[in-house]
């Protein structure tokens, strides 16, 4: 949608020859690594490009950091759990002495 809008703003005289090319430009602008073969020439087009760059980081980079942080946290929590020798449950905290489910004593 922003690519089509950019086609209307910049137009063929500024290199945005058709809507598919403008959509391709929008995809390149949103992603952190872009080729940069097509750039906005008007001030309004440059403002749209700047907003699109910021949106790209918000859409791609921030969620990626959140997901990797949660994966790291989940894997470290699994390593600190104790396993009950009686019932086999794994959800005990590292400092637990007794099983939360069957009450059996946990190994140190």
Going from N- to C-terminal start, the domains of the chain cover 2-30+38-79
Q: Model's pTM, two decimal places?
A: 0.53
Residue 41 in contact with residue 14, Cβ under 8 Å?
Answer: yes
User: Using CA atoms, how far apart are residues 60 and 17, in angstroms rounded to an integer?
Assistant: 28
Cβ–Cβ under 8 Å, residues 107 and 85: yes
DSSP alpha helices (H): ranges in the chain?
A: 2-10, 19-30, 43-56, 62-79
Give the model confidence (pLDDT) of 64-108 as tens digits.
889 998 888 777 665 567 788 888 887 667 777 888 888 888 877
Neighbours of 13 (CB within 10 A): 8
d(CA 108, CA 65): 35
Q: What is the pLDDT of residues 27-49, one digit of tens each?
A: 888 876 666 678 888 999 999 98
Q: In whole angstroms, give the CA distance from residue 96 to residue 102.
A: 13
């Amino acid at each position: 949608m922003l690519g089509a809008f950019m086609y209307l703003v910049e137009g063929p005289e500024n290199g945005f020859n058709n809507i598919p090319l403008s959509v391709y430009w929008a995809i390149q602008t949103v992603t952190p690594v872009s080729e940069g073969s097509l750039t906005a020439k008007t001030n309004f087009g440059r403002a749209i490009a700047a907003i699109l760059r910021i949106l790209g980081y918000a859409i791609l980079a921030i969620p990626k950091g959140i997901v990797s942080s949660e994966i790291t946290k989940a894997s470290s929590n699994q390593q600190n759990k104790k396993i009950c020798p009686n019932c086999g449950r794994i959800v005990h905290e590292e400092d637990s002495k007794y099983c939360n489910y069957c009450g059996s004593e946990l190994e140190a």
